[in-house]
Amino acid sequence: MSLKGKVAIVTGGTRGIGRAIALELARNGADVAFSYAKNVEKAKEVEGEIKKLGVKALAMQSDVANFNQSKEMVNNAIKELGRIDLLVNNAGITRDKILMMMSEEDWKAVIDTNLSGVFNCSKAAVVPMMKQRSGSIINITSVSGLVGMAGQTNYSSSKAGIIGFTKALAKEVARRGVRVNAVAPGFIETEMVQALDQKYIDEMLKLIPLGRVGKAEEVARVVAFLASDDASYITGHVINVDGGMVM
């Protein structure tokens, strides 16, 4: 599953699943550029971890919800690392509330980052990929986009939209050698999950046939597979990494 010689961009690459993906791609030989929103210190830390794996690393501060910043981020990665072979659209936020309590700002912030961010970054990356007639875009959606979660109308809508986006774009660019897939994590051990009440975690575990919380590294390994030539005949698919939560 070698990615040697390939260049990847991972959005939201400093924490949780994004960090795990950036490191896993680097372990498999890819040079990795990643975006971050605010935490410069954390970005430098991840950049250093990637470089220790013997590949190039590039941290880029960028807001994926901003079309022009996303375009500049992709162009900068190409300028510094020479090309782009892989784009992992991972950056996302939550603002959970039941609909009657959700503000327009809560709705717009999540849609702009989670869904429009995928559009912004993919639009910037897909043209150079099509020109070189190779590339892989992997979008991080969620089981919330498959079944919906109470209190997450904004988040579920954004993640469901990513699934439709993935399938449509896959059909558009397949003949140019570009593959587009999505990964739908379930209940994964991240900072957000660690902050939850234990009673809620226990209730969620009852819904998971494997009976445990997943690890970010387990999601990352699926992403690395989809990014590799081992998955060269897979496009337009959504792979659940959820312990059987959604079947």
Please tell me which residue in 36, 155, 200, 233 is annotated as part of the active site: 155
Of residues 149, 2, 39, the one with CA closest to residue 18: 39
Q: Which helix (H) or strand (E) holds 36?
A: strand 31-36
Q: Note if 233 is an active site residue.
A: no
DSSP 37: S
Residue with the two structure tokens 């880029």: 60
C-alpha R_g of the chain = 17
In degrees rounded to 5, what are phi and psi of residue 104?
-60, -35
| Helices (H) then strands (E): counts for the chain | 10, 9
Q: At what angle do helices 117-132 and 153-173 cross, to 10 degrees?
A: 10
Write out the catalytic residue numbers.
155
